[in-house]
């Protein structure tokens, strides 16, 4: 049985449009296109670049988030990269 180790994000920066470079707690840097996560519910407003660019790292949660309350589980981002 494969053991899944939960990941946390320790750094994140927007490269362009919806492409984000994420550094995980295992020091792996990965690029993730977040368009697949956007468009529904609380994520809908993030399709506007001015809203998307408000992305911040929440060290307590260990993931990226936005002022509207949206966040994405770091394990999902790790798997998507």
Helix H, strand E, coil C: the string for the chain is CCCCCCCCEEEEEEEECCEEEEEECCCCEEEEEHHHHCCCHHHHHHHCHHHHCCCEEECCCCEEECCCCCECCHHHHHHHC
CA distances to 2, 3, 46 from 14, in Å:
32, 30, 13
The fold adopted by the segment(s) 9-80 is NE0471 N-terminal domain-like (3.30.2020)
pTM score of the predicted model = 0.87
Per-position pLDDT tens, the chain of length 81? 565 667 999 999 999 999 999 999 999 999 999 999 998 999 999 999 999 999 999 999 999 999 999 999 999 999 888
> Domain locations in the chain?
9-80
């Amino acid at each position: 049985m494969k053991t899944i180790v939960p990941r946390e994000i320790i750094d994140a920066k927007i490269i362009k449009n919806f492409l984000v470079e994420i550094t995980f707690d295992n020091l792996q840097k990965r690029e993730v296109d977040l368009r697949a996560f956007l468009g529904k519910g609380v994520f809908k407003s993030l399709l506007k670049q001015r809203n998307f660019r408000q992305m911040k790292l929440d060290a307590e949660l260990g993931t990226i988030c936005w002022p509207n309350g949206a966040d994405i589980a770091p394990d999902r981002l790790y798997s998507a990269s």
